[in-house]
Chain A
Amino acid sequence: MSSVIWYLYEFARKSWAEKFTAAKTDSEIMEVPSRFRDFPEVRKEYCIACGACTAACPAPMAIKLVRTSDSAHEDGITYPVINNRGCIRCGFCAEVCPTDPKTLLCGENHLIREEFTILPVDKMFVIDDYLCIRCKKCLKACSEVAGAISEVDKKMVIDQSKCIGCGECIKNCPVKGAVKGIYINNVEEQKEIINMVVDTLEARIEADQDKIKKLAPEEVYKIDYPIDDLVKKAREIIPNDELIRDSIEKITDRLKMRILTWDDEKCTNCRLCTSECPSGAITYDKEKGVQRNPDKCLKCSICYQTCPFGVAGLYVARFLLSDTSLKDGVIQITLKPSQLPIRS
């Protein structure tokens, strides 16, 4: 009650007395400042259906591209539709809209310069139809995000114009490697890296040929290859560690390298293989006997299956780049004799 006194000073002021007698809600509450960002305004006629707005929108169900049906005279137009129940009024769609004049207007359009425009993806996602088991988990994951994956002719297909590169499909895919994220840029360099890695690994294994030949049918031969070596070489091709790691990981993941050994001592020059070899890598010479040219060899294993004397040996090398192996900085190579039956 005594705090009343502290208020008397306040109450004695003119502005307070005015408020006391004439308190009311002003019409100014309805005014919005000029920079206020309301829901985006869509001007259909300018839309080029690039999908930048849908790709950029951070809210999942705020923007949708729709297409009106074609009439007799002209094609239907495509334009974005804003769903007010999802739109968070950030104005990002207006910012990324590339048309001039803008299709989407939202408050004061911010500084939009060429260098700030967005490429939301730097990875392209593709579905490997061969590995795909059509579980549709990616479809489900994608339809909530971008709706880029659809089913065409019973195959899962990613629509690249809609893909925003979130990688949800990869996360949800139960099959390793069925969905691939491919770096769009530096394709040539990537190829080089792949070739380089495969070549080096192959060379490394073939250097141990003598030991491999002695392997018993169920025996496993292991080699550790230091990864730094590969990375160092790859860095000369392109200095992007992220990309290099990604490439090496992908290579070692799926690569099943066939190693073909050739034991000249066992050869009886029966020449069964020469006619079978599809690439002509095995030749017969009267002086030198049966010769194999490793450069031409496709490692198709036909010679291995044909030879009754076991001259050709086929081994399968697998590569492992696990966390433990990474700690040691090595790629683990595992070599096993092939289990392919030998034709008799």
Chain B
Amino acid sequence: MILPIGPVHPNLKEPLRLKLKTQGERVLSAEIDYGYVHRGIERVMKGKTWQKGIYLSERVCGICSYIHTQTFAETFEKIAGERAPLRAQFLRVLTNELDRIQSHLLANSTYFKCIEHETLFMYMLYLREPVMDAIELLTGNRVNMGWNVVGGVKMDVNQSHLDSIQEIITKLESEFDRYVEMFDHGPMVGLRSHDVGKLTQEEAIKARAVGPIGRASGLKHDLREKHHTYQDNFDFKVIWRKDQDNYARNMNRFDEITESMKLIKQVILNLPEGDVRKKINIPAGYGEWRNEAPRGEVTYSIETNGNLIKNISIRTPSIMNIDACAKYMLKDVATVADAISTYASVDPCIACTERVVIVDESGKSGEYVYPEYKLEYKSE
């Protein structure tokens, strides 16, 4: 029997069709239909000035909207061969980590909703709201922040903002561990999470899984390590695990939240004085930049004539992760319930995923995957 999940389904917050091939309760294989959210934003961006483009880029995805603007700005900075002022770089780290926290909390809450543990779902959202407050306080908006510009960030912060963010983070830190314990040690939650949806290291490499999904399968790969701001100024360690199942993916996200909180504290402690924005003259040229989004790595490649965006291509992490999910995790799963929770554990972001649709002559649409793309993994 083919069991269609979605596009409108209680456990999906974004439209997507998951076709589960089932035999009784056992899921044999899965197939994923994309295309419900494809809006062609890259084509909208073409021919616009970068000032407009940066607002469009954050509408690629609403959950990780921040990292898109940062990558967009940093691509342009790379084309210009300059960097934002140090204070701006620090503020970018601050916002990025706040965004990562809220995204991971949302991802885990979705997972808990899918295993129908509503209490933890609510607790995750309860933890998430203050973080959203912090983001709103800092940037002026909850979701699409409009905070980055090429050459820095828009607004400066003052001490009172930093104090309230510090307060929120301290409170979060004091409460956070308890809820992690509930997930970590709860036997019933464990029953649903341990050894479900395995993605081995080889499979992860084959499917090019990135982000927490790859890291939970033993791929120590975090682009923040290579980012100049993190490299020069911050001290953090890459979280990765070897257990490869749903539990590992969620735990990995929880641990990353802890790491992000440490980073935020470092930012607040070491925030340098100075300008938050500088004028950057952008020459014509082509540039590419990769950043670690909450879900993995996001790549922007932009060709510009100095002012207008001539060509832009965005590559987001979810496409590989969902692919890994459909190909490897959802093969021979014991029950439909587990299949859906496995899907949720991948933290799919459909709005991110639906980037390029190539329509061939027969009118069939398919997802375009960059064939020559290489990933650098450190496997240990």
- A residues engaging B (CB < 8 A)? 1-3, 6-7, 9-10, 33, 35-37, 56-58, 88-92, 95, 107-108, 110-111, 115-116, 118, 120, 122, 164-168, 171, 241-242
Across the interface, which residues of B come within 8 angstroms of A1, CB to CB?
188
Nearest opposing residue in chain B for A2, CB measure:
B187
Nearest opposing residue in chain A for B136, CB measure:
A33
Whether the pair B185, A116 counts as a contact (CB closer than 8 A) is no
Whether the pair A118, B284 counts as a contact (CB closer than 8 A) is no
Whether the pair B276, A111 counts as a contact (CB closer than 8 A) is yes
**B: number of interface residues (CB 8 Å):** 38
Across the interface, which residues of B come within 8 angstroms of A110, CB to CB?
154-155
Whether the pair B47, A3 counts as a contact (CB closer than 8 A) is no
Contacts A/B (CB < 8 Å), 18 sampled: A1-B188, A3-B182, A3-B189, A6-B182, A7-B119, A7-B182, A10-B182, A33-B137, A35-B138, A37-B140, A89-B146, A111-B154, A111-B155, A116-B277, A118-B49, A120-B51, A166-B48, A242-B305
**B139 sits at the interface (CB 8 A):** yes
Whether the pair A92, B55 counts as a contact (CB closer than 8 A) is yes
Shortest Cβ distance from A341 into chain B, in angstroms?
45
Whether the pair B140, A111 counts as a contact (CB closer than 8 A) is no
Known: A33-B137, A116-B277. A111 touches B156 (CB 8 A): yes
Beyond A92-B52, A111-B156, A241-B284, 10 additional contacts (C-beta under 8 Å) are: A6-B182, A35-B140, A37-B140, A37-B146, A90-B146, A108-B140, A115-B279, A120-B51, A165-B308, A167-B47
Whether the pair A6, B186 counts as a contact (CB closer than 8 A) is yes
Whether the pair B156, A36 counts as a contact (CB closer than 8 A) is no
CA distance A118 to B282 in the complex (A): 13
CA distance A243 to B138 in the complex (A): 41
What are the 7 closest A-B residue pairs judged by CB atoms, nearest first? A58-B52, A3-B186, A110-B154, A58-B55, A90-B146, A35-B140, A3-B188
Within 8 A of A (CB), among B169-200: 178, 181-182, 185-189
Whether the pair A35, B155 counts as a contact (CB closer than 8 A) is yes
Across the interface, which residues of A come within 8 angstroms of B59, CB to CB?
88
Shortest Cβ distance from B144 into chain A, in angstroms?
7
Shortest Cβ distance from B59 into chain A, in angstroms?
8
**B307 sits at the interface (CB 8 A):** yes
B58-82 vs A: 1/0 string, CB under 8 Å?
0100000000000000000000000
Whether the pair A3, B51 counts as a contact (CB closer than 8 A) is no
**B15 sits at the interface (CB 8 A):** no
Whether the pair A167, B51 counts as a contact (CB closer than 8 A) is no
CA distance A6 to B119 in the complex (A): 13
CA distance A89 to B59 in the complex (A): 12
**B141 sits at the interface (CB 8 A):** yes
Whether the pair B306, A242 counts as a contact (CB closer than 8 A) is yes
Find the residue from A10, A35, A164, A166 having the highest chain B CB count within 10 A: A35
Whether the pair A166, B277 counts as a contact (CB closer than 8 A) is no
Shortest Cβ distance from B138 into chain A, in angstroms?
8
- B residues engaging A (CB < 8 A)? 47-49, 51-53, 55-56, 59, 119, 133, 136-141, 144, 146, 154-156, 178, 181-182, 185-189, 276-277, 279, 284, 305-308
Across the interface, which residues of A come within 8 angstroms of B155, CB to CB?
35, 108, 110-111
Find the residue from B52, B136, B138 having the highest chain A CB count within 10 A: B52
Partner of A171, one of B47, B137, B138: B47
Whether the pair B181, A6 counts as a contact (CB closer than 8 A) is yes
CA distance A36 to B137 in the complex (A): 7
Across the interface, which residues of B come within 8 angstroms of A107, CB to CB?
140
Whether the pair A56, B187 counts as a contact (CB closer than 8 A) is no
CA distance A248 to B56 in the complex (A): 33
CA distance A1 to B186 in the complex (A): 10
Whether the pair B188, A2 counts as a contact (CB closer than 8 A) is yes
Whether the pair B188, A91 counts as a contact (CB closer than 8 A) is no
Shortest Cβ distance from B27 into chain A, in angstroms?
25
Nearest opposing residue in chain A for B275, CB measure:
A111
Across the interface, which residues of A come within 8 angstroms of B47, CB to CB?
166-168, 171
Known: A111-B276, A116-B279. A89 touches B51 (CB 8 A): no
Across the interface, which residues of A come within 8 angstroms of B56, CB to CB?
58
CA distance A330 to B254 in the complex (A): 60
Across the interface, which residues of B come within 8 angstroms of A241, CB to CB?
284
Partner of B141, one of A7, A57, A89, A166: A89
Known: A3-B186, A6-B186, A166-B47. A36 touches B144 (CB 8 A): no
Known: A111-B276, A116-B279. A36 touches B141 (CB 8 A): yes
Shortest Cβ distance from A261 into chain B, in angstroms?
41
Across the interface, which residues of B come within 8 angstroms of A90, CB to CB?
55, 144, 146
Across the interface, which residues of B come within 8 angstroms of A95, CB to CB?
154
Whether the pair A88, B55 counts as a contact (CB closer than 8 A) is yes
Partner of B139, one of A35, A57, A165, A171: A35
Whether the pair A56, B51 counts as a contact (CB closer than 8 A) is yes
Nearest opposing residue in chain A for B56, CB measure:
A58
Shortest Cβ distance from B1 into chain A, in angstroms?
32
Find the residue from A95, A110, A242 having the highest chain B CB count within 10 A: A110
Nearest opposing residue in chain B for A122, CB measure:
B307
Across the interface, which residues of A come within 8 angstroms of B133, CB to CB?
33
Across the interface, which residues of A come within 8 angstroms of B146, CB to CB?
37, 89-92
Across the interface, which residues of A come within 8 angstroms of B139, CB to CB?
35
Nearest opposing residue in chain B for A36, CB measure:
B140
Across the interface, which residues of A come within 8 angstroms of B308, CB to CB?
165-167
